[in-house]
Amino acid sequence: MTTTRPHAAAAGRTTRGDAVRAAARAGFAARGVLYLLVGALAVRIGLTGTGEQADRGGALARIAATPFGTVLLWSLGTGLAGMAVWRLSEAVFGAAGPRGDKPHKRVLSAGRGVFYAGSAFLVLSFAVGERGSGEGSTDRQSRDVTSRLLDLPGGRWWVGAVAVGVVAAGVWIAGRAVLRKYRDRLVWGSLAPYQRRFMDVTGVAGGVGRGLVLAALGFSGVKAAVAFDPREAKGVDDVIRSFAQTPAGPWLLIVVAAGLVFFGLFSFGQAKWRDLSPSVTGSPSVPRRGRA
């Protein structure tokens, strides 16, 4: 009997690991759907100057209007919950790779897990009819949060610090995309040439587009801190529309919007080709594949 227990424990870890990896892939797919819809709405704004809000609320409203909207919303919410479970498992057991168990990596994974858990909650709330939870404009939400922070002692500095952090995160995301750092997380050596080209095109364009939006969000927060005015803070919809107010005009908005569409496609590629080593679920590490 004692000889079977280690095998039973190993089998249990393998089963749990397989479940978490499946949840992660579902999460990447769900994220891809949301980015595709937000990007498509933003492209429409760039071409026509009108359209629904180009943020999570607008995407959820568009999904809800389809014949199987409720089923799709439940699927998206469940997928995002799976992403949260995977990220939180990284925080507990360590991520794949030689530095995955470093404290800052675990903290980053925990933060991502909380973010995706919140996103899943909002989508599922929208699915059960609490439309105010998931549909609220990110513009209004950004102003409300900024207003609360400004009311705190030293609020201007709190807002400024968070905003600078968001700008830095946007630049970091765009820079890593340009350097193709995403290859380290893929089974790159197992991909066919056309699959590599797909991931490079969507990874670079998508990462730069996503980074630009995030950096612009942070910049609006910096302006709010300097002016001590929460009305300067923008959400995703306002930020996307603001690209049309630059000297490049609507064309810059369309380019950024296309980047969000590419990031949605890149997320689908991650759902299929992301290297999800067993170490992310607490199982024994195995050599990672696909280094090239």
Q: What is the pLDDT of residue 235?
A: 86
Number of domains in the chain: 1
Q: What is the CA radius of gyration of the chain?
A: 20
* Residue 288 within any structural domain of the chain: no
* Residue 289 within any structural domain of the chain: no
Which residue matches tokens 């603001």?
242
Q: What is the pLDDT of residue 129?
A: 74
Q: What is the pLDDT of residue 244?
A: 85
Which amino acid is it at 56? R
Report the alpha-carbon distance of residue 149 to residue 59 in Å, rounded. Answer: 28
Secondary structure element (H or E) that encloses residue 256, with its range: helix 250-273
Going by C-alpha positions, the residue among 165, 129, 159 that lies closest to residue 144 is 159
* Residue 212 within any structural domain of the chain: yes
* Residue 291 within any structural domain of the chain: no
Q: What is the pLDDT of residue 96?
A: 63
Q: How many CA atoms lie within 13 A of 284 on its CB side?
A: 5
* Residue 287 within any structural domain of the chain: no
DSSP-derived secondary structure letter, 153: T
pLDDT < 70: residue spans in the chain: 1-16, 51-52, 95-101, 130-137, 278-292
* Residue 73 within any structural domain of the chain: yes
pTM: 0.84
Determine the structural domain holding residue 175 and report its residue range.
4-281
Q: In angstroms, how far is CA 257 from the centroid of its own chain?
A: 15
Q: What is the pLDDT of residue 27?
A: 95
* Residue 292 within any structural domain of the chain: no
Which amino acid is it at 107? V
Q: How many CA atoms lie within 13 A of 67 on its CB side?
A: 0
186: which strand partners? 274
